[in-house]
Structures are given as C-alpha cells and as structure tokens.
Structure 1
Amino acid sequence: MSFLGKKIVVTGCSSGIGAKTCELLKQQGAIVIGVDRNTTSLNVDEFFQADLSDPRSIDALIAALPAGTDGLLNVAGLPPTSGAVSVVRVNLLGLKRLTLGYVDKLADGAAIVNVASLAALGWQDAIPAIKAVDKITNFEDTETFCNKHNIDDARSYFFTKEALVVWTMQNRWTWRNRGIRMNCVSPGPVETPILKDFLETLGERAAEDMKVMDRAGTPEDIAPVIIFLASGDSAWIRGTNIACDGGMFNHVQCAMNDLL
C-alpha cells in the first residue's frame, strides 16, 4: 500500500485521529493537504484554515483547494459538549457541503472516507430524522430542525453519525462512473483530546461501555483503517461502514439478541 505522489485532503488534521492519519500518509509518500480551524504545519504539505460550521467558509475552502486530488478524508468533528446546532452543522451539514462541493475537483479513481462512530449503531431507529435532515439547504435552519426532532446536545452526536453512515451507504455508486468511492469508519471510544467531552455528556452509558471494553482505542488504531479505505487496495469496497471499536459493536449486537 503506497501513496507515493498521491495528493490527499484531510480535515481535522491538527489533532487526534486526523493528525495521525496525516502522519501515516506522509510515511507512505503522500502529499498531504490539511484542513482545520486550528493551524498546524505538522505532517502537512499545504494547510487551509476553515470553519466547517460556516457555509461561506466551506465554499471558500472548496474554491481554494487544488483540483486533481486523490482523496478526501473527512475526519473533522465536534463532541456533544459543543452543542447540538454546532455538532449538526460540522459533523453532518458541513461535511456534506464540502464533499458535494469538492467532488468535481477530485481525480477519477479518488476515495472519500468519512469518520462516523460506534454511536451510529442504532441508525435504523432514526430514519425519519435522517430523511428530514437531507432537506436542509440553509444552515440557519439547523436549530429549528433540532428542536422539531428532539435532537439535544447529547443526542446530536449520535444522530450526526447515524445520518453519516446512511449517507455513505446511499452514495455507494453515486460517482461509480468516475471510479470515485465513498466509505466510512466507525471508531469506538478513542483516547483523543475530546474523549473527556464524550464521557462528560454521555454519562452512564459511556461509562458502562468503557467497563466492558478492555481499553479505549487510540488514533494509531483508527488511522490505518482510514488509510486502507483511501488506498487502491480497497477499490471494490463501496458504501461500507467498517467498525474499528475493539469488538464493541458486535458485543452490543450479541447483547441485544441474547447471544452473549
């Protein structure tokens, strides 16, 4: 698996999983184009500062990013402590606006990888809200949407990742004629600077999950999976969500079906 000479855009490049992804890409010979609201020069060849909660900032970013890149890795995201409106804008609306606005500038054969979450495992129960959020074209409508669908701060993170997994599945063949594929990775709890924010907001549920797991994940656990989905080695994987969570998704499935 080599990225020699490949140009890859990574959002959320300044910390956590995004930073580790950039590091591994550089080790594989990639030209890394980083995007974040916080500036960095570490393991990026070019950096663009952007606010993914602001459609004007996203549109300016799309215009500024180079054409002919070989991948868009959507790693950036906010924890639930950021508030429902901000979480929905960044984790879902902003991600989608960037991806759909930039896809025409991607090279044929490029890969799009979205970072979802173990929190998305119950997406089947959120279909009405998932369908409704697709109709939002104005970021200013986010608060009204959240109120209508009972998406509070704690629920916002779960919802955005549920909708992201579904959106990835829906786009399994959207750009197939150009060889562009979209997949996602769903980490479990990961030791990053925002892990404490998740535990603070999710409370008892998160605490119980952590008791079952042997350990929290690390960026070193997640980044290689992202890299694989961005590589030519995964060319026939399309619209797929890969759980990278120490077995937690399967534990929940077994528990729900009395198979432990």
Structure 2
Amino acid sequence: MSDILGYKGKRVIVSGCFSGMGEATAKILLDLGAEVHGLDFKESTLPLASFNQIDLRDAGSIEKGVAAIGGKIDALFNCAGLAGGGAFPALDTFKVNFIGTRHLTDTVLPLMGPGGAIVSIASTGGLGWSRRIPTHMELLQIQGFDAAVAWAEAHPEHVAEGYAFSKEAVIVWTQFMGAQLIKKGIRINCSLPSPTQTPMMATFHATSGKDIVDAAAEPLGRYTTPAEQAGPLVLLNSDAAGVVNGVVLPVDGGFMGGLTTGQVDISKMMGGGQKQG
C-alpha cells in the first residue's frame, strides 16, 4: 500500500506543463517517481525526462512531439488549453481545447496498452453539453484533425467564441470514448475545475468579467489553486482509480452541488462570457 497510486517508474505525458494546472500536475508526478515527458508551446523548466515543443493547432507538430518520446506510455494528462471570450481567435481556442487535444490523444493511444489511462481538463464552463448532444455526436463522427477543423469552420454558430463549446466537446468525447477504450483496458476521464488561479485568470477577468468568474467560485468563496486541481487529475489516472472510467468529475469546491440544490445564484453568470476552468 506504500505506492497505492502506482506511478513509480511509469512513463507519463503531460501537455501544458509550462504553467498552471499542467505544471502542478507534472510536479506531483515527479515527486511520485514517474518518468514525466512534457509537451507545451512554451518550454518548461521542470526536471523532466524530456520536453518537446508542440502547437496543438498543428497536427504535424503534435505527431512530431509524440514520436520524439516514443516507447510505451502509461498515462496521458491533457492539461493544455486556451481561454475564450475573444481572447484568442475562436478557431484557435477550439483547436487547442478539443481538436488538438483529441489528436494528441489519438496519437498517443497506439503507445498505450491495458492499464493505460487518460485524463483531460474540461471546465464548469462546459455545463451546457447536455443541451447539444446531437451536435457533439455529429462532431465526434468526424475523424482526423483536418476534417474536424473543416467541420468547425463550417459551423461557426456552434464554435462561437470557442471556449464553452470546446469544453462541452471534451466532456461528451470523454464519455463516448470511455465506453470504447475500456474494451482495450484503457480508461479516460475528465475534470471540471471551478475558477483557478492560473496565469490565464487575468484573461478570464478581462473577457468574462470578474463578477461572473467570482460567481462560479461559490460556495467555496475563493479560486482554487493549480495544485488543488492537479491532485484529482493524478488520482484519476492512478492505479487507485482502476475502474473509474468515462467520468466527468467536478473539482469545484461544491459549485455543482450548490447549483443543483439552488444554493448558487446562476443568474449572476447569465448574459456574460464563459467561466474559467
């Protein structure tokens, strides 16, 4: 029971390892004895086994980064993401948050075997997923990076500002793939963070408004830290969570429970931009 999480000696990949939740996740994994390989647009200063620069907007860049790592991969942590609200072009946000993340996962999957695990960061900003299931299922039938980009370009009414729909897509994709990958002994889950004090927070305040972001931090009454978000990601991909699969896990200090039971005033979040996750 001394290594209940089972990361010692495991080969893992963390995308978005430069800062925020990805960096915090990589730090925990290093402390647990994992062999951590990092991928990001910006170079990490952590003592990783390897680092490769990638751009999740570019399929070739993703494939080159994964090829440079090679070998068997035990776990993938999809932590890279862009904010919405007009901070970046909508298509760029959608590419990074969903299309590129899915392509990275598809590229890593052939390196995984039974016991492999994948976790992605979605967001409380993607809670509208259940209202657009037919649209998301249509998107999931579109295979390949370029074809998915073409679909997004043809459906600007869905992609909108990029963020909320991209996070909804991660949620639906996680649940869909959970039923597919488990037949190969591979698990996939995602988390729904509430507002977290990362370098992107200033962007969320500027594009969505601080009042709206603050409302999504109730009932906890504060923003979470990257380390508080990283812990559940590490747990979901660990041996201790061996049959946890297809789960969309709120990591929000009680936001979802408060919303469900009427203790969070959702009206404060209506009419503004998208929440941060």
Q: Name the TM-score, length of structure 2 as normaliser.
A: 0.85
Deviates more, 1:117-126 or 1:215-224: 117-126
Deviations 1:66-96 (A, max 9, x none): 2211101101011111221101101000011
**What is the aligned partner in structure 2 of residue 97 from structure 1?**
103
User: In structure 2, how many angstroms separate the alpha carbons of the residues matched to 1:7 and 1:179?
Assistant: 17
Asked if 2 retains the 8 angstrom alpha-carbon contact of 1:85 and 1:146, the reply is: no
Is 1:188 paired with 2:185? no
Q: Unmatched 5+ residue regions in structure 1? A: none
**What is the aligned partner in structure 2 of residue 162 from structure 1?**
168
The residue identity in structure 1 corresponding to 2:130 is: Q
The one of 146, 160, 167 aligned to 1:152 = 160
After superposition, residues 100-139 of structure 1 pair within 5 angstroms as 100-134=106-140, 135=142, 137=144, 138=146
TM superposition shift of 1:146 = 4.4
TM superposition shift of 1:100 = 1.2
The residue identity in structure 1 corresponding to 2:60 is: R
The residue identity in structure 1 corresponding to 2:58 is: D
User: In structure 2, how many angstroms separate the alpha carbons of the residues matched to 1:58 and 1:117?
Assistant: 23
Is 1:217 paired with 2:224? yes
Deviates more, 1:24-33 or 1:209-218: 209-218
Asked if 1 retains the 8 angstrom alpha-carbon contact of 2:14 and 2:38, the reply is: yes
Root-mean-square deviation (CA, aligned residues, Å) is 2.1
Query: SS state of the match for residue 74, structure 2?
Result: strand
TM superposition shift of 1:52 = 0.5
Deviations 1:23-72 (A, max 9, x none): 10011111100000101131412111100111121222232222211101
After superposition, residues 53-92 of structure 1 pair within 5 angstroms as 53-80=57-84, 81-92=87-98
The residue identity in structure 2 corresponding to 1:145 is: A
Asked if 2 retains the 8 angstrom alpha-carbon contact of 1:71 and 1:230, the reply is: yes
The residue identity in structure 1 corresponding to 2:150 is: D
Asked if 1 retains the 8 angstrom alpha-carbon contact of 2:81 and 2:93, the reply is: yes
User: In structure 1, how many angstroms separate the alpha carbons of the residues matched to 2:45 and 2:70?
Assistant: 18
Distance 1:196-1:33 versus aligned 2 partners, 3 A rule: same
After superposition, residues 3-22 of structure 1 pair within 5 angstroms as 3-22=7-26
Deviations 1:154-203 (A, max 9, x none): xx211111111111111113222432100111110000000121222222
Deviations 1:112-132 (A, max 9, x none): 011111112221112243134
The residue identity in structure 2 corresponding to 1:58 is: I
User: In structure 1, how many angstroms separate the alpha carbons of the residues matched to 2:204 and 2:220?
Assistant: 16
**What is the aligned partner in structure 2 of residue 229 from structure 1?**
236
Query: SS state of the match for residue 97, structure 2?
Result: helix
User: In structure 1, how many angstroms separate the alpha carbons of the residues matched to 2:38 and 2:20?
Assistant: 13
Q: Which runs of 4+ in 1 moved over 6 A?
A: none
Query: SS state of the match for residue 47, structure 1?
Result: strand
Asked if 2 retains the 8 angstrom alpha-carbon contact of 1:17 and 1:223, the reply is: yes
| Identity, % of aligned positions | 31
Deviates more, 1:140-149 or 1:245-254: 140-149
TM superposition shift of 1:136 = 6.3
The one of 31, 44, 51 aligned to 2:55 = 51
Query: SS state of the match for residue 52, structure 2?
Result: strand
The residue identity in structure 2 corresponding to 1:197 is: T
Is 1:37 paired with 2:37? no
User: In structure 2, how many angstroms separate the alpha carbons of the residues matched to 1:32 and 1:41?
Assistant: 13
What number of residue pairs does the alignment pair up?
Answer: 255
